[in-house]
Amino acid sequence: MLIGPVAPVGQASWFSTDYRFHTLYPSFLQPLSKNHWTPLNVARKAAMFLAEKGARILDIGSGLGKFCLAAAYYCPHAYYVGIEQRKDLAEYAEAARRTLGLKNVSFIHGNITELDFSQYDHFYFYNSFYENIAPIGKIDEKIPYSVERYNHYQYFMYRQLAQKPPGTRVATYYGREDQMPRVYHIGGSELNDTLKYWVKE
């Protein structure tokens, strides 16, 4: 059962539509929403799968923080952490968090390969490594892109998830099945299989 948040006055209006939510961010970033930001309905569904009471949930490549912020609103009985390698995006995410008044979410500026996955219970992944091999649609040109970097990130995530205990959950949006260790099975999917729910055996 979805547990409603204790919301500051006006907080709910930010979550009325994706368009409204995107106005939390500067206008020059809003066109990135189609390819890089999790839709609110996806965030709600993924959070309901991941958010066991008291769980710490990591968003791998959180960008502007939309998944974490929406998940923290829809399922406030868990804690959400987003890690993002671009400092400016992490700062915009934190500014949005302050505007929304959410207490159960935080953001880290850093590289995913420097993070210890043992601190987290469950994970959300919107294929954030793909921009390394995408021919178009990159967020910006502030970081180097390469197939080698894609493979490095992918291998790191694969190894970290493989080491997690049985019962670990992962929600992937537009992810590939070969990105997940074989010890994870699909516990369900929605939205024409674009959103998949994984559980470690």
Tens of pLDDT, residues 109-131:
999 999 999 999 999 999 999 88
Residues above pLDDT 70, as percent of the chain: 96
CATH of the domain spanning 31-200, picked from 3.10.450.50, 3.90.1300.10, 3.10.129.10, 3.40.50.150: 3.40.50.150
Question: In angstroms, rounded to a whole number, what is the distance separating the alpha carbons of residues 40 and 46?
Answer: 10
Pair 55, 78: CB distance under 8 Å: yes
Question: In angstroms, rounded to a whole number, what is the distance separating the alpha carbons of residues 100 and 189?
Answer: 30
pTM: 0.92
Pair 74, 2: CB distance under 8 Å: yes
- Going through the chain in order, the beta strands assigned E by DSSP cover 56-60, 79-84, 105-109, 122-125, 169-173, 184-190, 195-200
Q: Where are the domains of the chain?
A: 31-200
Q: Look at residue 5 and tell me whether its pLDDT is greater than 50.
A: no
Q: Which pLDDT band holds residue 28 (cuts at 50, 70, 90)?
A: very high
Pair 47, 69: CB distance under 8 Å: no
Instruction: Write the CB contacts of 43 (distance below 8 Å, at least 6 apart in sequence).
Output: 66, 67, 70, 71, 74
- Mean residue pLDDT across the chain: 93
Torsion over CA: 94, 100, 101, 106 (sign): negative
DSSP state of 61: S
